[in-house]
A = this chain, B = another copy of it.
Amino acid sequence: MTITAQGTVLTEAELSELREAQLSDVENGPESKPPFDLKNYLGSRKKLVETALDGFLPVQAPEKIYEAMRYSLLAGGKRLRPILCLASCELVGGSIDMAMPTACALEMVHTMSLIHDDLPAMDNDDYRRGKLTNHKVYGEDIAILAGDGLLVYAFESIARETKNVPPELVLQTIAHLGRAFGPAGVVGGQVVDLESEGKPDVSLETLDFIHARKTGALLEACVVCGGILAGAADAEVERLSRYARNIGLAFQIIDDILDVTQTQEQLGKTAGKDERSLKATYPRFWGLEESKQRALDLVEAAKAELKPYGSKAIPLQAIADFIVSRQS
């Protein structure tokens, strides 16, 4: 039971209905409340994040390593990971400032994983986000070190720059990000991805294992760390984690679909690469149509997880929709 501002006592079911109605209000927008504009939201959040990233990493001696780190970190991109982290922190009642160092750290570790994945010894890619990859500009040695530098800087930034959050929650955030990115997460996913390359008989189970770690674990960490910093209770963290795992898998399915259907120019990276290298992808298992449907179902499930938050959940729900509708 909950007491509303008007003093009415509502059951959980009535409360849920009321929240849905509020959500629908905001979506359809009475004139006093303009409808939520995702494009504006993403644009303004992206700017906030990029200003913060720029400020976190001023060029010092030795200049070359800072320049190499900045080259990839400030190369654009949607900044979806930090935006998810900020949104999740706000959803649970925290502020943007509380989560900004962690949001930037998430973009740093994501960027470093791209720099190392692009190396000749790994995926050997020359282009990323429409620009030459880090090692094509700075050489392999500096690219390896730029990745290492970003990884360390990420953890240092969370520990040193997070303000107005109880220190034990900052430690939980660091531990969660560490688990998500390390051998049990992104790094482990990349290992199995490399092992599976060129094999014609990769199982759906292995494909799930790879993506739950290589893409999913970090997206999950974005949402969960935002919640932890805002003091989310365990049950809330679980709910945020389910939302994030659903959108993470949807994101990967859409990535696989785009790789088949888009041109290099649209993607900003080498397209059709998965197809040529016989890489296991979801469209190979399910076909394009079923893959798309499954991604849509995952997004619906993700959005449903956030219903108890009512209209506060609109940004994260709209981001979930964006993931299946994006064209690059």
Contact = CB atoms under 8 A, between A and B. Distances in A.
Given A155-B174, A156-B179, A175-B156, A145 B65 contact: no
Contacts of A61: 188, 209
A122 interface: yes
A270 to B, nearest CB: 18
Tallying the copies of this chain within the complex gives: 2
A116 B171 contact: no
Contact of A121 (B141, B155, B182, B191): B141
B191 A65 contact: yes
A182 B122 contact: no
A156 B142 contact: no
Nearest to A195: B64
A183 B66 contact: yes
B149 A187 contact: yes
A119 B142 contact: no
Contacts of A166: 167
A194 interface: yes
A4 to B, nearest CB: 37
A106 interface: no
Interface in A128-145: 139-142, 144-145
A188 B152 contact: no
A51 to B, nearest CB: 20
Interface in A102-152: 112, 116, 119, 121-122, 139-142, 144-145, 147-149, 151-152
A33 interface: no
A153 interface: yes
Contacts of A148: 112, 116, 147-148, 151, 187
A184 interface: yes
A155 B155 contact: yes
A112 B177 CA distance: 19
A190 interface: yes
A62 interface: yes
A60 interface: yes
Interface string A36-65: 000000000000000000000000111011
A15 to B, nearest CB: 35
A62 to B, nearest CB: 5
Contact of A178 (B66, B156, B167, B181): B156
Interface of A: 60-62, 64-66, 69, 112, 116, 119, 121-122, 139-142, 144-145, 147-149, 151-153, 155-157, 159-160, 166-168, 170-172, 174-175, 177-179, 181-184, 187-188, 190-192, 194-195, 209
7 contacts: A62-B195, A116-B144, A116-B145, A142-B191, A152-B181, A156-B175, A156-B182
